[in-house]
Amino acid sequence: MRKKSKIIASSLIALSLFAAACGSDDKASDGSIAGVAFDTGGRGDGTFNDSAATGGEQAASELGVEIKELEATVDEDRKANLELLVTGGAKVIVGVGFMFTDPMTEVATANPEVAFGIVDGFINGACGDPITLTNVACLLFAAGQGSFLVGAAAALKSESGHIGFIGGQEISLIQEFEAGYTAGAKYVNADIIVDVKYLGPAGDNSAWGNVAGAKEIAAGWYAAGADIIYTAAGGSGAGTIEAAIEADKWAIGVDSDQYLTAGTPEAQAHILTSMIKRVNVSVFETIKAASDGTPFTGVKMFDLSNDGVGYSTSGGYLDDIVAELDAIKAKIVAGEITVPAMP
């Protein structure tokens, strides 16, 4: 790595010719710049976006890179922010969320010397044939696999045989959570009842922060006999936790370990587990790979086999069934269980 830097430093002209080949030429741990671009709604949701931000912070402290963060307010901001990060000198840029698909394709094509990564996004020219973009990585998560495990956990822990799933926007990204959860629950108990509801249609951004809406649905289901509810709806999940506290039932968190982010002991006492989607790992690894001089390209799948997704055991509520869950996990990794992508 160090040797490579030296060569590059001594042959700047050659570098400009081979700009495309040398995606990231910086020396590790010395204030090179990495950018993280958030979508509208961005930071402060306690789960998905904050997890991405944690990955950036980890890169800052462990790799010594300088992290620049930009958050979009309107449509036009996505492309503008990616360009600002490029002109700001970022050598690697991670876009958080699939809405960056088109803007990133455009900006990455115009800036082949910069490495890009997109969380939850699949960019055709970069990750599907034919490959035309070699400086973009699609950071994908097998959220269905993680959801399968928490679904199995819910079925094993449910006393009433009645559980629930609350989704954010009704889009395929979130339906994958639902499909995995339901399949996992039915794998353990074929007769289990799974209530399903979404907080909003596709395009309704309030679905990611509708605490009151999630609470109302959850309170209704708890009153009707459900005892565990899994919520994959960004910040709305706080509503389910509130309802779980009031009804003294269980909630399941998403993306981050919500036992750790919940804060209050009452909340912690009602968070059975969380389906963990290690967005932070994907962000950190993308920045690290680029700063090592070997930037990611193409599909980077984060699944159970590389612990890109998983479940949390904070609180110790799952201690008695961890062995069973790990057996299921092994079967999924081995391909003996296939997790459906759509409900």
Partner 1 sequence: MKNQRLQRVLVTSASSLLAVFVALCICAVILLITGKDPIQAYSTLFGAAGDIKVLQGTLNRATPLMISAAAVAIGFKMNLFNIGVEGQMRVALLATAVAGAAIDLPAPLHILFCLVVAMATGAIWAAFAGWLKVKRGVNEVISTIMLNFVALSLVAWAFKSFFTADTAPGVLLVKTKELPPSAWFPDIVERRLNGMFFIAILVLVLFYVLVWKTKFGFQLRASGANPGAARVTGVNPKRMVMISMLMSGALAGLVGMRALLGDVHAYQNNLAEQQGFNGIAVSLLGRNHPLGIFISALLFGYLGEASGRLQLEDIPKEITTIMTGIIVLAVVIINEAVKRWDDKRIQHKAALALATRVVAE
Nearer to partner 1, 20 or 202 (CB): 202
Please list the residues that pair with 299 across neighbouring strands: 138
The DSSP element (H or E) to which 200 belongs, if any, is: strand 193-200
Angle between helices 279-291 and 48-63 in degrees, nearest 10: 30
Scanning 97-105, 180-188, 216-224, 240-248 for contacts with partner 1 by CB under 8 A, the matching segment is: 97-105
Nearer to partner 1, 74 or 323 (CB): 74
User: By CB under 8 A, is residue 106 in contact with partner 1?
Assistant: yes
User: By CB under 8 A, is residue 327 in contact with partner 1?
Assistant: no
Closest CA to 44 of 79, 66, 62, 71: 71
Contact 23, 114 (CB under 8 A): yes
First to last CA, the chain: 46
Contact 222, 191 (CB under 8 A): no
User: By CB under 8 A, is residue 217 in contact with partner 1?
Assistant: no
Alpha-carbon distance 148 to 184, whole Å? 4
Which residue of 46, 121, 146, 237 would you call a contact of partner 1, by CB under 8 A?
121
Which residue of 160, 189, 205, 314 would you call a contact of partner 1, by CB under 8 A?
205
User: By CB under 8 A, is residue 320 in contact with partner 1?
Assistant: no
User: By CB under 8 A, is residue 69 in contact with partner 1?
Assistant: yes
User: By CB under 8 A, is residue 201 in contact with partner 1?
Assistant: yes
* C-alpha count within 13 angstroms, C-beta hemisphere, residue 123: 32
Which residue of 15, 80, 322, 333 would you call a contact of partner 1, by CB under 8 A?
80
The token pair that represents 241 in the structure block: 């936790």
Which residue of 2, 3, 12, 203 would you call a contact of partner 1, by CB under 8 A?
203
Contact 17, 25 (CB under 8 A): no
Task: Tell me the site size for partner 1, rule CB under 8 A.
Answer: 39
Which residue of 204, 246, 292, 324 would you call a contact of partner 1, by CB under 8 A?
204
Strand order in the sheet with 33-38: 66-71, 33-38, 90-96, 115-119, 136-141, 298-302
Which residue of 98, 148, 221, 296 would you call a contact of partner 1, by CB under 8 A?
98
User: By CB under 8 A, is residue 338 in contact with partner 1?
Assistant: no
- What count of other Cβ atoms lies within 10 Å of the Cβ of residue 310? 22
Instruction: State the minimum distance, in angstroms, from the CB of residue 74 to partner 1.
Output: 6
Nearer to partner 1, 169 or 273 (CB): 169
**Which residues 127-146 are close enough to bind partner 1 by CB under 8 A?**
127-128, 138, 140
User: By CB under 8 A, is residue 81 in contact with partner 1?
Assistant: yes
Which residue of 67, 70, 153, 183 would you call a contact of partner 1, by CB under 8 A?
70
Nearer to partner 1, 69 or 242 (CB): 69
User: By CB under 8 A, is residue 277 in contact with partner 1?
Assistant: no
Helices in the chain by DSSP H: which ranges? 2-10, 12-17, 48-63, 77-87, 101-110, 124-127, 143-157, 172-188, 211-223, 237-247, 258-262, 265-268, 279-291, 322-334
At residue 4, the 3 state secondary structure works out as helix
Q: Is 93 left (phi over 0), alpha (psi -120 to 50) or beta?
A: beta
Instruction: State the minimum distance, in angstroms, from the CB of residue 176 to partner 1.
Output: 10
**Binding stretches for partner 1 (CB under 8 A):** 40, 68-71, 73-77, 80-81, 83-84, 88, 98-99, 101-102, 106, 120-122, 124, 127-128, 138, 140, 169-173, 201-205, 299
